[in-house]
Structure 1
Amino acid sequence: MKRLARLVLAGSALAASCLTAAPVTFAADAAATAPESGLHVDQVGYLTGHEKKAAVKDSGETAFSIVDAATGATVYEGKLSAAKLDALSGERLRQADFSALRKAGTYRLKVGAQTSYPFAIGDNVYAKPAVYAWRSYTLARSNTPIDDPVTGLHLAGGHPQDKAAEVYFTDALNKKGDKLDATGGWYDAGDYGKYMTTAAIASAQLLMAYEEEPGHFRAGQLVFPKGVKAEKGLPDALSEVKFELDWMQKLQRKDGSTFHKVAGMTWPGFDKSPDTDTQPRFVFGNCSSSSAMYGASLAIGARVYAPFDARYARQLRKNAERVWSYLEQHPEPLYRTDEGQESGSGPYNKATDLEERIWLAAEMFRTTGDKKYEAYLKKVSDRFTQKPGFYTWDNCLALGQYAYLSAAGADPLLTGQVRRAFLGYADELLAKTEKDPFGCALSAEEYTWASTKNALTEGSLLLMANRIAPNPAYVEGALSQLHYLFGRNSLDKCFMTGVGSNMPLHPHNRIHESTGAYVPGLVVGGPNHVSGGDPDQTKYLESGKIPIAKSYLDVLMSWSTNEYAIDYIAPAAYLLAYFAEPAAFTADTLK
């Protein structure tokens, strides 16, 4: 979702204060000359035993072939489907279905004289993007020296001033100017703020990825750079998420609630790396919805870490229970804001909190089995049993429903109601996916700020639906959202840095611009057809009739289309955890 405070940034004024480093090309084929447009493929590849489809802009041709990328030899031939107009892209499209091709290799799609970007077919084509996605969190660690042989990123350890961050306001628990150790955690996005909302929902999805596919994770998998120490006895993935959980727990207050965010008072220029942004750092706000999200993520963590560290798991559970106690004592939603607190960071503001309370209650019921949490869900059943939408930091209803449907000992009547709502929504997503020529689940109105995340979240929900009611079509629908991410879209754009042939080269990312290091695995926002996102995007939309699905700019200052965020990456990591298995990567093989 867009962070409205970014509108205070005048693009020209900010750009004038920034040094823009030349982008570093991460993969050799990123700079390759683009083929003729109109052959839309997943530039990473297709799994051997799953559907393999491409969208083809109509040129009058009715046949296609798949050719070996190295030799040009034809390995498969087929007929294109009838052409149909796609309103979202403005293209007349046909479909090439080569699902029957199961031989591993690297190929191109050929239609007439046109050839596509190369793509692989294999059993584990998504292993490297999966590692990139998880490593992107490692490389976004604050207060951590980084010496990464994969990307060349070198940081002395950003924002040491977080050790004594100043509380920005006075209330019953704190005085303005109190010092708090706010070290740790991941930078949220292209800026250096650290936010409870996105920290909670991102870490929760990563924990869910492990909980559901533990066999796909192991120690050494993320090839941690120098300066990052793996937690003893943990798979790298859980070691990484623990870094975020430990930071979040530092922001929990005596009454069980949490502070909302840590940031400076001004947006750093793009010449400022984390270790050269020396402005004072502050702890801002108090928000009941973000506190509830924090508690939900800890409740999941209590389950996940129990086999590895029972003491740590008990700590997580205890702190989640403290959040619940606070919310019981404070039934009214709260979003505290003080003058000036949004001048250098995004608000992530929500004036209500019911969906987040539901998520917390459901996760606590799943973790503890305590019926008091189920009793709360019954009390708010009018909302709890409604059809959800895709989950995001300001609406976690779907996550609450999934947690309850996954819990042991749930009430059969309430389970039936929630199941119908959840699976009904999943069926709607599946129908959209099967109707869309790109296999994308997005409706026209969902091409907003963070549309890529919206699609990936919808894919994640289809995987969740498959766990509740196994259905191969749900799995294929989920996989289709990865195909969209990796280039099977009307722009032929991979919306993840560092993968495919046509990746984002100018992400809205201060670490990239200030250091010249190109970090792979960052998921950028993608097409945004809502005006008022940022000056470049607004000007682009006003330039003419831009198709909804093409409303994207690979330019630095289009933060509403080309910024990444930790909660954008999380659903990609969740999907990839299902479809990718571990591979023996080294720093050299990840370059």
Structure 2
Amino acid sequence: MRTLLLALTVMLGAGCAAPVSTVGTPVTGFVRVDQVGYTPEETKNVYLLSAADPGDRPFTVVDEAGKTVLTGRTGTSTGPWNDGFHSVRVLDVSAVRTPGGYRVLVDGIAPSPVFRVASAADLFGPQVAANVRFFQAQRDGADVVPSVLGRRPSHLNDSEAMVYATPAYDEDELHDERLTPSGGPVDVAGGWFDAGDFLKFTHTAAYSAAVLLIAQRDSRAGGPELAAETGHGMAWLDKMWDDRTGTLYAQVGIGAGNDEVRPTDHDVWRLPEADEAPGADPMLARRPVFRAAEPGQPISPNLAGKVAAAFALAAQTDTGETAHRALDKAAKVYALASRQPTDELTTAYPHAFYPEDSWQDDLEFAATELALAGRALDDPRTPGWIQDAQHWAAEYLASDVRGTLGVGDVSALAHADLIPLVTGTQVTRDDLVRDLARQLEDGRTRSDKDPFRAGASYVEFDSVPHTFGLAITAELYHRVTGQHTYDAFATRQRNWVLGANAWGSSFVIGAGSVFPRCPEHQVANLTGEVLTGAAVNGPNKADKFTEPNRFPAMRQCAVADFARFDGQGARYVDAVGAWQSVEPADDFTATALLYFALAAVGHS
């Protein structure tokens, strides 16, 4: 009975069954809103998705008591969506400014989900706390949080892990007949699982820790729980960096093998503590560790840059000798970064798990955070780091791999922190501001053509984190310029990711009333618990959904059918196994957390 009720609730919330309309007429469309809500002063656009163009039609906004607080008429058409829904129109409800909960009603259209009007702190502070809870759920090792998803200690054998030679891959095909031992044991226990599986990557952990540290440094959101989580992440990065030998370890576990190297992490659906239970397979019980480079040798600059930036940010948020030690580690990792990489950049093994092309942005990020930490700690190397940061910023601006904020491009974070430090002629403050604007204009150009004003492409991977990345960049632009040029654009991006989209779903678990119920996450799936705070990939290119994951141990769950809302070449599938849409990841959620933390502070 509970499962049936859940299924009905989800279907109704997603608009997959026809709720009773306001006057009993057949439902011909749906109203899509930001299900977390809007601040009193911001522009509040909601979207009317309908089978046929409704033309100039009245709408009503009612409060929680059913009292009418606003009437208006359908606004600008933004175009058709798919073969079943030929019209999307904007409804402006900006005049609703009094804190409270509201619905939008249109004759013949399903009532909207409830949306709130509240202060930025009230809306987004709880979202930061939820994101932190996701990272607590991702903890590995002995220091888990039992109250979150019933977590139990896992992979304790990682404290005595053996090191193996770097595996050779072609895309995601392992060419090595077997793994070759090359050292150890090393202690790499702890850290965060990377996504819905149990691999641990230095690349994504460093990005996530750095982003969480910026949130901790620059906002009041998160409190001691966020600080504890950044401490947990940095403690693991400290293990992955061997200060004595100058060795950076890149990965714990292996996710793509062959007939001889099996089972890998991706071959079994289980709780993490099962890997070391009696009778567990040795490949899972004794997980391999892989280096980023040989001891003391140059490290892929994208990876070294992210790790150095994370240590430098820890130096900015720590105090006393702890801060000085973090700065020293950051400087050593940065010094080993290759300045002329010729091979494929190191992210994960295989690289196809996290393809990345840019690296100058990572060195700009590292040098900038080193400079900020050095200035705070009166380190004599600070002027040199400032010069380095400006050099790498200029190199990035001259490159052909400039993107927007996400795990693969951190230039927006680097630029925003570098702008106050600029002193020379290699790059100017205006150059950096223009590049922030370039990233935002790229998003705004796409947004202007999209019926729901999405600035990121939802026919590519990482549409949700890239959307949050654009919203963060707009916040950073405002902070460094004082201009409101992209404020409304940032709001529209948040709206899209939190429910004002064709599917009527928030893509952050627990945010709003309709959100992913069946994520591709082994612990959440097997325990039946809600993975609160996790950000998922969201919509993806329709032809990417040919190979869902299937395991005998997977628990099936009641899901809404979003297929009728697929369009523009994109699909969204909320079903365990649909990793293309609903697998959460650390980098996704860290990016969401930073947006919510910055938004919670607000600006004038």
- Asked if Structure 1 and Structure 2 have the same fold, meaning a TM-score greater than 0.5 normalized by the shorter chain, the answer is yes
Greater displacement, 356-365 / 190-199? 356-365
Matched, 1:414 2:428: yes
Deviations 1:164-203 (A, max 9, x none): 12111289xx962411111111111011011111111111
Matched, 1:496 2:508: yes
Matched, 1:403 2:417: yes
The answer on whether the counterparts of 2:100 and 2:116 sit within 8 Å (CA) in structure 1 is yes
Name the aligned partner's letter for residue 56 of structure 1: L
Name the aligned partner's letter for residue 179 of structure 1: P
Deviation (angstroms), 1:470: 1.7
The answer on whether the counterparts of 1:170 and 1:176 sit within 8 Å (CA) in structure 2 is no
Q: Report the counterpart of residue 547 of structure 2 in structure 1.
A: 535
Q: Report the counterpart of residue 105 of structure 1 in structure 2.
A: 100
Q: Report the counterpart of residue 132 of structure 2 in structure 1.
A: 134
Q: Report the counterpart of residue 39 of structure 2 in structure 1.
A: 47
Deviation (angstroms), 1:407: 2.9
The answer on whether the counterparts of 2:406 and 2:591 sit within 8 Å (CA) in structure 1 is no
Deviation (angstroms), 1:570: 1.3
1:54-73 pair list within 5 angstroms: 54-58=46-50, 59=52, 60=54, 62-68=56-62, 70-73=64-67
Greater displacement, 448-457 / 346-355? 346-355
Name the aligned partner's letter for residue 273 of structure 1: L
| Distance of 2:454 and 2:565 partners within structure 1 | 22
Deviation (angstroms), 1:426: 2.7
Structure 1 unpaired stretches of 5+: 1-21, 219-234, 538-542, 583-591
| Distance of 2:203 and 2:245 partners within structure 1 | 19
* Match 1:263 to one of 230, 253, 274: 253
Name the aligned partner's letter for residue 313 of structure 2: I
Greater displacement, 423-432 / 93-102? 423-432
Q: Report the counterpart of residue 490 of structure 2 in structure 1.
A: 478
| Distance of 2:438 and 2:159 partners within structure 1 | 48
Q: State TM-score, norm by structure 1.
A: 0.80
| Distance of 1:273 and 1:93 partners within structure 2 | 43
The answer on whether the counterparts of 1:64 and 1:79 sit within 8 Å (CA) in structure 2 is yes
SS of 1:417's partner is helix
SS of 1:176's partner is strand
* Match 2:341 to one of 320, 332, 341: 332
| Distance of 2:160 and 2:510 partners within structure 1 | 36
* Match 2:115 to one of 114, 119, 122: 119
SS of 1:580's partner is helix
Q: Report the counterpart of residue 250 of structure 1 in structure 2.
A: 239
Q: Report the counterpart of residue 274 of structure 1 in structure 2.
A: 272
Matched, 1:511 2:523: yes
| Distance of 2:423 and 2:393 partners within structure 1 | 17
Distance 1:167 1:336, change over 3 A: farther
Q: Report the counterpart of residue 157 of structure 1 in structure 2.
A: 153
| Distance of 1:126 and 1:400 partners within structure 2 | 24
Deviation (angstroms), 1:61: 5.0
Deviation (angstroms), 1:520: 0.7
Deviation (angstroms), 1:424: 3.4
Name the aligned partner's letter for residue 438 of structure 1: F
Matched, 1:192 2:201: no
| Distance of 1:510 and 1:575 partners within structure 2 | 27
Greater displacement, 188-197 / 528-537? 528-537
| Distance of 1:202 and 1:402 partners within structure 2 | 18
| Distance of 2:533 and 2:440 partners within structure 1 | 27
| Distance of 1:468 and 1:102 partners within structure 2 | 28
Deviation (angstroms), 1:25: 9.7
The answer on whether the counterparts of 1:486 and 1:495 sit within 8 Å (CA) in structure 2 is yes
Distance 1:104 1:394, change over 3 A: closer
| Distance of 1:386 and 1:117 partners within structure 2 | 46
| Distance of 2:123 and 2:8 partners within structure 1 | 18
Deviation (angstroms), 1:422: 2.3
SS of 1:136's partner is helix
The answer on whether the counterparts of 1:68 and 1:105 sit within 8 Å (CA) in structure 2 is no
Deviation (angstroms), 1:466: 0.8
What fraction of aligned residue pairs are identical, expressed as a percent? 21
Name the aligned partner's letter for residue 425 of structure 1: Q
Matched, 1:566 2:564: no
| Distance of 1:293 and 1:337 partners within structure 2 | 12
Name the aligned partner's letter for residue 138 of structure 2: A
Distance 1:413 1:508, change over 3 A: closer
Structure 2 unpaired stretches of 5+: 20-26, 168-179, 255-262, 277-283, 293-298, 376-381, 550-562
The answer on whether the counterparts of 1:299 and 1:317 sit within 8 Å (CA) in structure 2 is yes
The answer on whether the counterparts of 1:527 and 1:549 sit within 8 Å (CA) in structure 2 is no
| Distance of 1:295 and 1:27 partners within structure 2 | 47
Q: Report the counterpart of residue 328 of structure 2 in structure 1.
A: 318
Distance 1:170 1:202, change over 3 A: closer
* Match 1:464 to one of 476, 480, 483: 476
Q: State TM-score, norm by structure 2.
A: 0.78
Deviation (angstroms), 1:256: 3.5
Deviation (angstroms), 1:88: 8.3
| Distance of 2:390 and 2:229 partners within structure 1 | 35
Matched, 1:176 2:166: no
Deviations 1:221-270 (A, max 9, x none): xxxxxxxxxxxxxx221111110011011111345451111114612566
Deviation (angstroms), 1:28: 11
1:275-290 pair list within 5 angstroms: 275-278=273-276, 279=284, 280-286=286-292, 288=300, 289-290=302-303
Q: Report the counterpart of residue 552 of structure 1 in structure 2.
A: 572
The answer on whether the counterparts of 1:334 and 1:351 sit within 8 Å (CA) in structure 2 is no
| Distance of 2:413 and 2:266 partners within structure 1 | 34
Deviations 1:429-477 (A, max 9, x none): 345446644232124xx63111111111111111111111122342332
RMSD of aligned Cα (Å): 3.4
